[in-house]
Structure 1
Amino acid sequence: MVVALKKSDLYSSLWRSCDELRGGMDASQYKDYILTLLFVKYVTDKAKSDPNSLIDVPVGGSFDDMVALKGDKEIGDRVNKIIGQLAEANGLEKVIDLADFNDEEKLGKGKEMQDRLSKLVTIFADLDFRGSRAEGDDLLGDAYEYLMRHFATESGKSKGQFYTPAEVSRVLAKVVGIGAGTRQDHTVYDPTCGSGSLLLKVADEAPRGLTIYGQEKDNATWALAQMNMILHGYEDRDIRKGDTITSPQFTQGARLQTFDFAVANPPFSIKSWSNGLENDYGRFEYGRPPEKNGDYAFLLHILKSLKSTGKAAVILPHGVLFRGHAEAGIRKELLRRGYIKGIIGLPANLFYGTGIPACVIILDKENAQARTGVFMIDASKGFMKDGNKNRLRSQDIHKIVDVFNKQTEVERYSRMVPLHEIADPKNDYNLNIPRYIDSSEPEDIQDLHAHVHGGIPDHDLDALNGYWEAFPRLRTTLFKPNRPGYSDLAVGVAEVQQAILDSDEFQKFAMDVRGQVDDWFAAHRPVLQALNPDTVPKDLIARISDDLLARFKNTPLLDEYDVYEQLMTYWHGVMHDDVFLIMNDGWCEAAKPRKAIEDKERKLSETPDLIVGSGRSATRYKMDLIPPALVVARYFAGEQAKVDVLHAGAEEASRAVEEYIEEHAVEDGLLAEAMDDGKISKILTSTRLKVARHEGTDPEEIKALQHLIRLYNEESVAKKAAKEAQAALDLATLKKYGDLSEPEIKQLVLDEKWAATVRTRVASEANRLTLGLVARIQQLGERYTETADAIHAALEALESKVTRHLTEMGVMS
């Protein structure tokens, strides 16, 4: 495993390696070992490349000292001492030294511990963080994020709360009001900060940085947060330990310290929130939360911790929006004072500690008294499945943030709800989102008149008005008048799709979509061509993706967020890895083939992109940046065409063998005697031919056997020709990589890989729309094809026919 690998491969290999060595330990415990090693490795590498590093790595306290212990019988105890020296040199006692690497119960005894720790150290020794800039999308940041997400997934319901999903964190960071104008002395506070991931996502939104404060109750999770902050360059953070409600650490005398911003994902509906509570610090002036539910205790704590212009975003269960009794009273007071700026309803099953749906409550003290409404978003339907959890897609995040920050009202999605409507007695300050936003799809109403008399109701066609605005002549192409208010299909139901695809308007629409993508890519090609080690990937993709979104904003039919998602899915799956490789290795080096990894000890094996040679002498290659298909299509199209012909010939020859055997290898067939255990082969056929000739059997059988052998020979020759041609093409392709110039590499990657893929993906959105229109028209056409009168007439005809048959049989007179 080396840095030249794609990032995604690196992380998955890292996870598989670590997970394999976990043994019987729970993931929530195992993460402490893994993340401690990641920390020590990072600070060791950083100290080598940055003489001004704030972390002092003493002699005898580095990761290199751990590497020297591989195979040592006392490796566990000595690793503890190395970490202890590093902790002591930096005042990180009880932060980085919590995991006991000499714990026989967790790591095994004797040789088992020795082997397990030696392998773990080897895994991290292969990583190189010297070039890591901890910008949130670099090697280290992504590796940490990847591991945390997997540990949260594996830890189960009761132990996954230490991590807020990155996608949700980004939403909170962007709606709370932090941005380019945020000053470095602005403060952000998370009273239940877990491992610090939410705070770091917020900090990412402030280009000039900001001052981080946090509190965490769990000791091990607090230590994780401390390490996480250092790993991401926030050595001056202030993360304190303790229970936020009963023992708040950020106080000024009898009052709470206040901050510019706050974000939080508190434990949901905690029952023991008030155990040991002595001083409420004036937090409950608008009402005391119920003894058995702490949701409002955290919300009121955060409100009290905000400055007079402070803003906060808090994740809470939906129950806080509508539960009665004490919570209803608190909710009413907050709304009457204008503190609640907005509410965002999230999909269910996003979080690791619970499967219930949650919401984001946005608090804003600035000009609160002048607030006349609450902006609500129902984002519950926008997500993707990811294993047993749901995740927000890039388009879901962007849409939520755009709509909230611009306060845009979108039908069935968002609305500014006036306070007088919320205060109306029928609502009585209930904030349950479905009361104010109906996000359900319109009901598909059946038309009884059409069922009786035929014809497609015009109101169903009018509902497809977006299509008719985009393709003005298409409606008259597809439909003809039936009677007032009803139309008939002018083409057969099966011909609808082709009629749409063949229309000049659709073809122009598809061409315009491709043109928009081409114009977008041309605008950003110079920046992409100039990728270098100083490129910041997250800024790059933000710039080009936002531009793509903007360009499709006014395109009819196409949802700009669907187009945006096509780019972002490709970015996360392929393009980000490509950019990473180019930044780290340069265009030419990144384009070079490398040998595919086969590490039997760690059970790691990469699927090769190209295999040259055969048998034991075969060499398996990976082409991370330029797939062989692109090189072949560009430089060896003629050769590929010939290979395709040969492969087709080989397949045809194999088919001829199969068909001849199928015809004659049956019971009493000409090839029946050549069968053995229901199978037949060239060897069995030759053997039977010798016997048949010797015994002077049926000449027809001999002819059949001879013919089958000829077919086998023809198949063998065809397969050999195809294999040799393919091998020659593969070798030529491999050699071509060495001849590629930098301009050629850039053209292959930029134009024939990135641009072509995005163009195809966006075009698929246009095709998807077309298929949706086709499906709806076909549904309507089939629904009203048979009228009730026609069905009744057919039924009468059948009854008459049955009666006639029964009469002829003498059953009826």
Structure 2
Amino acid sequence: MAVKKSELYSLLWEACNKLRGGVEPSRYKDYVLVLLFFKYVSDRYKGQRFAEFTVSEGASFDDLIAAKGKSDVGERVDKIIQKFLEENRLQGSLPDVSFNNPDELGSGKELVDKVSGLIAIFQNPAIDFKNNRASGDDIIGDAYEYFMMKFAQESGKSKGQFYTPSEVSRIIARLIGIGDIKQEMGKKWTLHDPAAGSGSLLIRAADEAPTDENGDSIVTIFGQEKYPDTAGLAKMNFILHNKGTGEIKSGNTLANPAYTDDFGGLKKFDFIVMNPPFSDKDWIDGIKPSEDKYKRFDGYGIPPEKSGDYAWFLHVLKALESNGKAGIILPHGVLFRGNAEATIRKAVLDKRYIKGIVGLPANLFYGTGIPASIIIIDKENADKREGIFMIDASHGFMKDGNKNRLREQDIEKIVQTFVNKEEIEGYSHFITYKEILKENDGNLNVPRYIQKSDDTLPQNITSHLKGGIPEADIDSIERLWKVSPQLKQKIFKCNDGKDSIYTLAISPNEIETVISEDEKIKSEKENECGELFSAWRNEIKDMMLNINADINPKELIRNIGLQILHRFESAQLLDNYDVYDFLLNYWNESMQDDVYIIKASGYEAGGEVEYVYAQKKQKDESGETVSVDDTTKMKSFEGALISREVIENEYFEKELLALKDLIEKSALLESELDEMREEESGEDGLLVNALNEKGDSIPKANLNKQIKELESRKTSSVMSDITKLIELLDVGDTDEMEKTVKANSELKGYELRNKNGSFGKSKLKAALKDAIHNAVMPEVYADEYKALLAFQAKMTEKEEVDKAVKETQKAFEELVLEKYGELSVDEIKYLLFDKKWMAKLEDDITDAIDQVLNDLASRVVLIAKRYEHTLSELEEKVVQSKVRVKSALERMGYSW
């Protein structure tokens, strides 16, 4: 079974996080990521001839496992990894870490435990990449990105800049147009990042490029990163994303560019992506701008000494081919700051290189909380460009801990709006160069050109004074009236046509019902839940039912996502980007795992079951005590692709109902027992003597003990005589026994003798039990005894029901397990598509429409109540309240 992305991410992160101890996230990440990289390469290439990497004996992850627990484990790990690096000529290419470093990992047993624990994490059978060798399988690469994101979150402002949030990387990759290039004879497309960090921007951009007949990207990637350790992260990132041929060089890009041409100038690239340090105060180190040999500042001017944003910007312009394209992340200040930066900005605008600007939300990046923008540069046909397309995406995000994060719908809305040059009020606008340069003196501040739509309602003073609802307030719910214009007349009536003042035509309590029962509202809801969804469902069905090893999951979700986006364009209740978000969230949460499993194992994986076992302790190969699965004790199970719930509802509805009835009966009996206990648990309660020490339950042992105690207080002549008979039998005095029987006629009603006529010990004991039962309880204990017996009977009934639940549950589970093994591929496809994927999305859409209608109804009620009382009425109420308070105070004896 292929590794599930979601499981891999959480498994690795939680385990590693526990072992981190006092090591700083910025350093600990290097240890973890090196091990993750080494595990992947070892699994994937060990034993393969002519492979991309050599993994020999003594230089594999298996050798790390053998070193685990040894007193010199740190030294051994260093030697093993060093041998691998030497054999693959990777010395100096990866982060420089030593697993024998007492300053960071502790010393003695602490170091042994920490290093051995890290190895054990990646030794987990769930993390086996031997079966994940298919080209394009990006599970491990995305896991690596996930790790870098998590470490960036914890590294703080000063050390989180090595990672660009993947959501922003994905936007830039799509906006620069790299996906539109074609393979040309003799042409080698190039992609560059001068401030590469961990390489995520380069990788996302390269992922967008078309591939050749071998499935390889047709662009060659080149990166430069100032810090060697971070450059090492990027190199590993390239390899784990099947881009191992990508170059990454270490060094200061502005002072010493690593990529130059044969004439000493900067090498030119077709595409550049970059997220440089914001307002870099050290950009001038190692460089004399006025004598820059690469002539990057010629014709533009020199950036401020303490703010290097335009230094990086101008480096990109110089390194870009004459028809090249770039996407740069820079702080908003570069769009409007004055002095030297204004001079540079106007010079750039004169050349018309800037194609678009996207204003992003604040607090997206891990190194800073300030808002940033994406600037899209396109040199091709720049002289014919008439303006800049701007997007203000600053308000579309979700909170994620102490940071903001772009949602899937935010990403797609930015991309689709930019690609289609769609002008949306308050969101996007095309601004001519004339307007920018002549009317605004080169100021590119996004809010200057795009004013956010204000959906707040101003208070209407006249309505507050005289009453009534102003028409402007009612018109603010245009979304509702657009679906059903007649609703406005149903809910409101016009009292003053001259001033357009309205009042409610119905009670506020009726508003929600009137809206939900409106025929056009119901029709539109049916359209969106039914027709639009069904049309999209039918469009994608063949794609989702023909997944194979050659499919690209990321292309698949891109395609079906665009289809749902376009299909719901006509929806009036739901925003089509909200619907898109439902799909993408479900994809990230679960659906992508399903697709990757099918890609690796086929639809037949739908018949597989994953078991959860009890744990047991045993020694591992190094002699350490570890917890492992006890496969003889299954605790539960779940379908690998199709949940038990789907199987149960589809095939065993009758049996499931019977089981639920038993469970409900048990729950009812439990509540009845609780009620009986609570009613009689007080100081004088009839069950108080059977309570546990805490007084919150009645254990069975306590209950039986108290019943036995009360029964011991029963008395009767029969009980006394049978007890006497038992004593006489023990001493063998049968004559006295016969006399006792003759003297008490009531004893004739009890079976005291064996078949041969002799007295039997077991017969006498059974008779005594019956006699005790038949005996009369003293009146002082009668009510308590009755209550105890009633509780005992109810408890016995629940035990019997619980036993039936357990037996029925076991039989039911056997039926479900058997059914998994019988599923055909056609059945699996049906269950996956109709009962799992589509059922979940349809529920999300239905719930969302209901929420929209509830919100609209609430807004109508809010507007109706806004002017419910006039100012004079409120003043009169205040006067009346004062009179009542004064009167009450006077009655209490206060005067003034």
What's the offset of the Cα at 1:346? 1.0
- Cross-structure match for 2:105: 107
Query: Is 1:374 paired with 2:388?
Result: yes
| Alignment partner of 1:347 out of 361, 372, 391 | 361
Instruction: From the superposition, tell whether residues 55 and 658 of structure 1 become closer, same or farther in structure 2 (CA, over 3 Å).
Output: closer
- Cross-structure match for 1:123: 121
Q: Deviations over 1:367-415 (max 9, x none)?
A: 3333332222111111122233222111111111111122211111111
Distance in 2 (CA, whole Å) between partners of 1:234 and 1:769 is: 45
315-324 vs 101-110, greater mean Cα deviation: 101-110
- Secondary structure at 1:189 match in 2: strand
Q: Does the 8 Å contact 2:483/2:572 carry over to 1?
A: yes
Distance in 2 (CA, whole Å) between partners of 1:525 and 1:116 is: 49
| Alignment partner of 1:62 out of 39, 48, 60 | 60
Q: Does the 8 Å contact 1:167/1:392 carry over to 2?
A: yes
Distance in 2 (CA, whole Å) between partners of 1:82 and 1:673 is: 69
Distance in 2 (CA, whole Å) between partners of 1:811 and 1:74 is: 87
Instruction: From the superposition, tell whether residues 671 and 630 of structure 1 become closer, same or farther in structure 2 (CA, over 3 Å).
Output: same
- Cross-structure match for 2:585: 569
Larger Rg: 2
- Cross-structure match for 2:251: 242
- Secondary structure at 2:192 match in 1: strand
Q: Does the 8 Å contact 2:70/2:112 carry over to 1?
A: yes
Q: Deviations over 1:437-480 (max 9, x none)?
A: 12253331122333344332222222222222222332233333
Letter in 1 for 2:510: E
Distance in 1 (CA, whole Å) between partners of 2:558 and 2:430 is: 28
Instruction: From the superposition, tell whether residues 105 and 298 of structure 1 become closer, same or farther in structure 2 (CA, over 3 Å).
Output: same
Instruction: From the superposition, tell whether residues 567 and 598 of structure 1 become closer, same or farther in structure 2 (CA, over 3 Å).
Output: farther
- Secondary structure at 1:376 match in 2: strand
Q: Deviations over 1:599-640 (max 9, x none)?
A: 78999999x9xx99xxx9453323231111111111111122
Q: Deviations over 1:134-189 (max 9, x none)?
A: 86662222222222212222322221211111111111111112114244712111
- Cross-structure match for 1:708: 791
Letter in 2 for 1:545: G
Distance in 2 (CA, whole Å) between partners of 1:73 and 1:668 is: 67
Distance in 2 (CA, whole Å) between partners of 1:663 and 1:79 is: 67
Query: Is 1:197 paired with 2:200?
Result: yes
Letter in 2 for 1:20: K
Distance in 2 (CA, whole Å) between partners of 1:128 and 1:670 is: 62
Q: Deviations over 1:693-734 (max 9, x none)?
A: 626415444433333333333443444434443343233223
- Cross-structure match for 2:235: 226
Instruction: From the superposition, tell whether residues 804 and 362 of structure 1 become closer, same or farther in structure 2 (CA, over 3 Å).
Output: closer
What's the offset of the Cα at 1:213? 1.5
Distance in 2 (CA, whole Å) between partners of 1:530 and 1:297 is: 51
Q: How does 1:421-460 map to 2 (within 5 A)?
A: 421-424=435-438, 427-460=440-473
- Cross-structure match for 1:186: 189
- Secondary structure at 2:67 match in 1: coil
- Cross-structure match for 1:398: 412
- Cross-structure match for 1:556: 572
Query: Is 1:773 paired with 2:873?
Result: no
Letter in 2 for 1:236: T
| Alignment partner of 1:634 out of 637, 646, 650 | 650
735-744 vs 792-801, greater mean Cα deviation: 792-801
- Cross-structure match for 1:153: 153
- Cross-structure match for 2:21: 23
Instruction: From the superposition, tell whether residues 377 and 134 of structure 1 become closer, same or farther in structure 2 (CA, over 3 Å).
Output: farther
Instruction: From the superposition, tell whether residues 810 and 226 of structure 1 become closer, same or farther in structure 2 (CA, over 3 Å).
Output: closer
Letter in 2 for 1:584: A
Q: How does 1:301-312 map to 2 (within 5 A)?
A: 301-312=315-326
Distance in 2 (CA, whole Å) between partners of 1:712 and 1:30 is: 56
- Secondary structure at 1:159 match in 2: coil
Distance in 2 (CA, whole Å) between partners of 1:707 and 1:653 is: 12
Query: Is 1:38 paired with 2:36?
Result: yes
What's the offset of the Cα at 1:268? 1.2
- Secondary structure at 2:669 match in 1: helix
Structure 1: stretches of 5+ with no match in the other structure: none
Q: Does the 8 Å contact 1:377/1:415 carry over to 2?
A: yes
Distance in 2 (CA, whole Å) between partners of 1:542 and 1:20 is: 36
Q: Does the 8 Å contact 2:426/2:451 carry over to 1?
A: yes
Letter in 2 for 1:459: A
Letter in 2 for 1:223: G
- Cross-structure match for 2:818: 735
Distance in 1 (CA, whole Å) between partners of 2:836 and 2:625 is: 31
What's the offset of the Cα at 1:566? 0.4
Q: How does 1:53-92 map to 2 (within 5 A)?
A: 53-92=51-90
Distance in 2 (CA, whole Å) between partners of 1:599 and 1:760 is: 37
Q: How does 1:721-732 map to 2 (within 5 A)?
A: 721-732=804-815
Q: Deviations over 1:770-804 (max 9, x none)?
A: 12211101101222223345445656777888999
- Secondary structure at 1:35 match in 2: helix
Q: Does the 8 Å contact 1:13/1:604 carry over to 2?
A: no
Distance in 1 (CA, whole Å) between partners of 2:135 and 2:782 is: 81
What's the offset of the Cα at 1:328? 1.8
What's the offset of the Cα at 1:302? 0.8
- Secondary structure at 1:236 match in 2: coil
| Alignment partner of 2:477 out of 446, 453, 464 | 464
- Secondary structure at 1:222 match in 2: helix
Letter in 2 for 1:562: D
Instruction: From the superposition, tell whether residues 499 and 686 of structure 1 become closer, same or farther in structure 2 (CA, over 3 Å).
Output: farther
- Secondary structure at 1:553 match in 2: helix
- Cross-structure match for 2:767: none
Instruction: From the superposition, tell whether residues 97 and 416 of structure 1 become closer, same or farther in structure 2 (CA, over 3 Å).
Output: closer
Q: How does 1:563-642 map to 2 (within 5 A)?
A: 563-596=579-612, 617-642=633-658
Q: Does the 8 Å contact 1:137/1:538 carry over to 2?
A: no
- Cross-structure match for 1:10: 8
Q: Deviations over 1:328-384 (max 9, x none)?
A: 221122123222222111112211212222111122222333333222211111112
What's the offset of the Cα at 1:809? 13
| Alignment partner of 2:340 out of 309, 322, 326 | 326
Instruction: From the superposition, tell whether residues 180 and 364 of structure 1 become closer, same or farther in structure 2 (CA, over 3 Å).
Output: closer
- Secondary structure at 1:256 match in 2: coil
801-810 vs 642-651, greater mean Cα deviation: 801-810
Q: Deviations over 1:282-326 (max 9, x none)?
A: 111211111111111111111111122122111111221222221
Distance in 2 (CA, whole Å) between partners of 1:791 and 1:138 is: 66
Letter in 1 for 2:148: M
- Cross-structure match for 2:224: 215
Query: Is 1:520 paired with 2:536?
Result: yes
- Secondary structure at 2:660 match in 1: helix
Q: Does the 8 Å contact 2:605/2:640 carry over to 1?
A: no
- Cross-structure match for 2:717: none
What's the offset of the Cα at 1:12? 1.3
Letter in 1 for 2:505: A
- Cross-structure match for 2:488: 475
TM-score in terms of structure 1 length: 0.91
- Secondary structure at 1:251 match in 2: coil
- Cross-structure match for 1:268: 278
Distance in 2 (CA, whole Å) between partners of 1:811 and 1:204 is: 81
Instruction: From the superposition, tell whether residues 52 and 547 of structure 1 become closer, same or farther in structure 2 (CA, over 3 Å).
Output: farther
Distance in 2 (CA, whole Å) between partners of 1:650 and 1:674 is: 22
Query: Is 1:762 paired with 2:845?
Result: yes
Letter in 2 for 1:500: I
